[in-house]
Amino acid sequence: MRHDLKSPLNAIIGMPQVLELDHNLTPIQREMIGLIRESGLNMLDMINLSLDLFKIETDVISINLSLLIYWRCWHV
């Protein structure tokens, strides 16, 4: 079901990019278009996180804790 959510997001994320090509937009319109794009990207991140959690819960993938700890130490 989560994959079904990603397809409509392509339009939500992609359409603002097309609209931003219009050089006649007002600053407010550009800001609103940016908010739509940003919200779509945030939603995509949430769906991807949800898919990752689902894979972990169903043992499709496992987490290597030592790599996670190493990564976290260097990317704080």
Where do the domains of the chain lie? 2-74
C-alpha distances in Å from residue 25, one per residue of 18, 29, 31, 71: 12, 6, 10, 42
Q: What is the pLDDT of residues 6-53, one digit of tens each?
A: 788 888 899 999 999 999 999 999 999 999 999 999 999 998 888 888
pTM: 0.68
d(C-alpha 60, C-alpha 36), whole Å: 33
Secondary structure element (H or E) that encloses residue 63, with its range:
none
Q: What pLDDT score was predicted for residue 28?
A: 97
